[in-house]
Structure 1
Amino acid sequence: MEITVPPPTVTLDPTPTLRDNPDRDRYELWSGEELVGVEGYERTDDGDLILLHTVVTEKFGRAGFARLLVSQVLDDVAARGIKITPVCTYVQKFLERYPQYRANVR
């Protein structure tokens, strides 16, 4: 069963975009030149990811951007065929709420 992930409660211009920043071991969510949030990770020897923490900057807190960040990260890893281990409690709760994202969990 697929449960729709609601969009953030605030609209940003430009629309936030996800960037993988392997040099800093994190995904980053950007709105133009403004950092909205990050998903820190550790890469395993086989190329999979351990998702360590989800952080949204204070300016964008409590508006659904962590949810947007995690859903986009999980979409990206699924498209790339990467498995994840969710250490981050936010990601764990997200996966409980949106079971359609569990396919790539180790």
Structure 2
Amino acid sequence: MTTPVPVPPPTVTLSPAPDLRHFPDRDRYELWSGDELIGVEGYEHRPDGSVVLLHTVVTEKYGRAGFARLLVSSVLDELHDAGIEFVPVCTYVQKFLDRFPQYRAGVAQD
């Protein structure tokens, strides 16, 4: 059993607090604060029902403040809650899994 490693919050506090929005018609999750886009997690569906996490992008304004970490942890939590496995193609997600191994349980097995 993997001991959970706490995921630190962003180093900047936003008002309103960031919220994750899912846009299945565009195959992506977006992190927003009010009407301002913070970042995007793009994915594609696999025939087995899992999703391939392709890329994590945070706008320059919010870079290096922990918002990519918040975006990825929020997406992985949502996938977990929905019972959906994922394939971490995105290098940021791969590094995130090294740092926070409790999320590895959601990786799809080939």
What TM-score range do you get, normalising by the shorter chain? Answer: over 0.9
Moved more, 66-75 or 19-28: 19-28
Task: String of CA shifts for 1:49-74, please: whole Å, max 9, x gaps.
Answer: 10000000011111000000000000
**Which residue identity is paired with 1:75?**
D
**Which residue identity is paired with 1:23?**
D
What's the counterpart of residue 23 of structure 2? Answer: 21
Task: String of CA shifts for 1:8-51, please: whole Å, max 9, x gaps.
Answer: 00000000000111111100001011110000000112321100
Question: Whole-Å Cα distance in 2 between the matches of residues 101 and 20 of structure 1?
Answer: 19
Question: Whole-Å Cα distance in 1 between the matches of residues 93 and 14 of structure 2?
Answer: 23
Structure 2: gaps of 5 or more residues: none
Question: Whole-Å Cα distance in 2 between the matches of residues 96 and 66 of structure 1?
Answer: 15
* 1:1-106 correspondence runs (5 A): 1-106=3-108
Query: Which consecutive segments of 4 or more residues in structure 1 shift more than 6 A?
Result: none
Question: Whole-Å Cα distance in 2 between the matches of residues 31 and 103 of structure 1?
Answer: 29
- Root-mean-square deviation (Å): 0.6
Question: Whole-Å Cα distance in 2 between the matches of residues 85 and 104 of structure 1?
Answer: 9
Same amino acid, percent of matched pairs: 71
**Which residue identity is paired with 2:21?**
R
Specify the SS of the correspondent of 2:30.
strand
Question: Whole-Å Cα distance in 2 between the matches of residues 9 and 63 of structure 1?
Answer: 5
How many correspondences in the alignment?
106
Specify the SS of the correspondent of 1:94.
helix
Specify the SS of the correspondent of 1:42.
strand
User: TM-score, normalised to structure 1's length?
Assistant: 0.98
Structure 1: gaps of 5 or more residues: none
